[in-house]
A and B are shown apart, each in its own frame.
Chain A
Amino acid sequence: MKPSQFQQPEPALARRPEAYLRIEAVDKDFGGVKAVDQVSLDIARGEIFALLGASGCGKTTLLRMLAGFESPSAGRIVLNGQDLSGLPPYARPINMMFQSYALFPHLSVWDNIAFGLRRDDLPKAQVAERVEAMLKLVQLQAFAKRRPHQLSGGQQQRVALARSLAKRPQLLLLDEPLGALDKKLREQTQLELLAIIREVGVTCVMVTHDQEEAMTMATRIAVMGQGRVLQVGVPQDIYETPASRYVADFIGNVNLMEGHVVADAPDHVNVQCLDCCHHVGHGITGTLGMAVSVALRPEKIALSHRAPASEFNRLQGVLDSQAYFGSYTVYSLRLRSGARLKVSQANASRHAEDPFHTGQTVWASWSADAQVVLNQ
């Protein structure tokens, strides 16, 4: 039984795109350890595709195989109809923006950007024209003569981007593009980066461990774990319809509850867990009594002082801590079974009429389409 069979139909965006970059059954073996294990991905022209996962999940190895720094142990990579196997990095129509940029410290900004163009033996005038255009694109005309160490982190990032775009690559690789920036700068840079990539229209594969970065930048995300692709989809898909406990837990916050199916109808199922009985508003291809997990995002839960009317999708708990984040507050409820439930509530008004206090016994409830039923 595949998870996709008992979840909502995939949104139109996630349908199999025509492949511009094809990664076919690629393996990478490091002395008996499989860093990348049977990865197949199809990426369309113009996509910004994110490889997302914890460190050691194989995403960087996969990116390095695209760049040509590692060669696959098995499988092949085809870009725009051209099989890249055996091509060294310098012969690939692919450029990479390195993690923490790898700018050449002995060359000026101008020469850094011109480096790749000069390797193609372009005429001087054309190199100059291209470099000027790149400087303008990233708005660093005034800094052309500076050395990399004389620039701020954000400026260095833009030089790195200009350098990797200068040769008009068929594929742009981004290795943790915002990883070296502090949080405040990251949000702003992210939008700038996205605007430039869209303006150029280059197909992108990025690697990140930061789910927010992947969500905001990518058109599609592949979540990786232990060298395998666990799920591919548009950001909403990955978040709202995770295919496994691992993905649900890795992306955002989630409450996972173990239970078994107690009612199985075409239009709904009921899952009995320790602390509550879930009423899920769609059918699944499972059997009565099957053990499943129910994933429930904290922001999909409502808190109240009074008991909700329905006997399903509700539970009672003791509020044992709350963390105020400004725009929202995260509450932690201790349930009868000893488990905890995270609830996140938007602070829509400045002063809540009837605030929740730590130590109170409160009700949590959610609607019939809030949960995702998982069996793996």
Chain B
Amino acid sequence: MLSPKTWRPAWLNGLRGRHWVIGLPYAWLLLFFLAPFAVVVNFSLSQMGLVRPDSLLRQIDGAWQLTLRSSNFSNLLGDGLYFNAYLASLRMAAFTTLGCLLLGYPFAYFMARAKPARQGVLLMLVMAPFWTSFLLRVYAWKLLLGEGGWLAALMDGVGLDYVLLWLGLIEAPGKYMHTPFSLMLGLLYSYLPFMILPLYAGLAKMDLRLLEAAHDLGATPWQAFWRITVPLSRGAIAAGSMLVFIPCIGEYVIPELLGGPRTLMIGKVLWEEFFNNNDWPMACAVAVVLLLLIVLPLSWFNRVQDREARA
């Protein structure tokens, strides 16, 4: 006898609920990533018309003709401006990632080792900035660091400006805004939670008996940290680094508000190509190269990790 539970139409077999749960959002994401990306690639191989880029397929004398132009890419590679902007962005993203890691790791570590009741409070404090608008928070730095801002006054008071000057992070004593310093500060501030959260998750689920075993075998706390804690949190470090590094490369708002004229990051170049020069194909070429710059090292990294996990 068929029970109502086992009876289902044949076409539903294999399409259980879980497939829908995973499949639908996945299809959504894929569609709305791939479709715009196809448009962007399409534009990048075209040239600017009067209002919008020319179509790649054109009917000439009744015959369809496909014209692919690589001129945008060759311009991009030939012009030092773009190269430098990419380099500056990569460098900024790398520094931000490193900075977030150095600031975030100890924080996440002690948060994960705090009493459970306190962990909740600390976690909430890390996420508290998300309660206000990102734009507002970045803008607030302008007031803090600008002339007459109390943070600026404080740094003047302790003479920190001379240290920053010596480091080459600001150009004149007492002037903090629109310098590499203000940009770095803004990036670190904005991205730190994205580093802390995965690190915390990784460190909190670590088996503390492994540290006891290490101590038992003669490892000092410092040795146990480097030999056990750090290697075991490698996955969390990688996750946090990607969450910071990837969006940081293309960051536009923070450099625009806090960065100086000297640091031209690729997000800003993209904006200018699109809105100032009205050169959509060039902007799209910049975006495609940016994507490749991020995706290629990432997929290589993933493959290395997979191979290591399987070994």
Contacts and interface: CB of A to CB of B under 8 A. Distances in A.
Contact of A88 (B215, B217, B228): B215
B217 A98 contact: no
Contacts of A211: none
Given A106-B231, A106-B232, A163 B210 contact: no
A104 interface: yes
Contacts of A104: 210, 213-214, 228
Interface in A72-120: 88-91, 94-96, 98, 102-106, 115-116, 119-120
Interface residues of A, number: 23
A95 B231 contact: no
A313 B203 CA distance: 64
A230 to B, nearest CB: 28
Contacts of B215: 68-69, 88-90
Contacts of A116: 217-218
Contact of B212 (A69, A91, A103, A167): A69
A364 interface: no
B232 A90 contact: no
B223 A119 contact: yes
A327 to B, nearest CB: 39
Interface string B202-235: 0000010110111111111001000110011010
Interface in B176-198: none
A65 interface: no
A95 B216 CA distance: 6
A303 B133 CA distance: 84
A104 B224 CA distance: 11
A102 B223 contact: no
Contacts of B219: 90, 115, 119
Contacts of A88: 215
Interface residues of B, number: 18
B217 A115 contact: yes
Contact of A167 (B218, B223, B227): B218
A67 interface: yes
Contacts of B220: 90
Contacts of A115: 214, 217, 219, 227
A120 B218 CA distance: 7
A163 B212 CA distance: 14
A102 B207 contact: yes
A253 B210 CA distance: 38
Given A105-B232, A106-B232, A119-B223, A95 B210 contact: no
Interface string A299-326: 0000000000000000000000000000
A19 to B, nearest CB: 23
A98 B231 contact: no
Given A106-B231, A119-B223, A90 B218 contact: yes
Interface in A159-204: 163-164, 167
A167 B232 contact: no
A80 to B, nearest CB: 18
Contact of A89 (B207, B212, B231, B234): B212
B68 to A, nearest CB: 48
Contacts of A106: 231-232, 234
B232 A163 contact: no
A116 B220 CA distance: 11
Contacts of A96: 213, 216
Q: Which 10 residue pairs across A and B have the least CB separation, nearest first?
A: A116-B217, A119-B218, A102-B213, A89-B215, A102-B209, A106-B231, A90-B218, A90-B215, A96-B216, A119-B219
17 contacts: A88-B215, A89-B215, A90-B216, A90-B218, A90-B220, A95-B216, A102-B207, A102-B212, A102-B213, A104-B214, A104-B228, A105-B210, A106-B234, A115-B227, A116-B218, A163-B217, A167-B218
Interface of B: 207, 209-210, 212-220, 223, 227-228, 231-232, 234
Given A104-B210, A115-B227, A119-B219, 13 more contacts: A67-B216, A68-B215, A89-B212, A90-B216, A90-B219, A94-B216, A95-B217, A96-B216, A98-B212, A98-B213, A115-B219, A119-B223, A167-B218
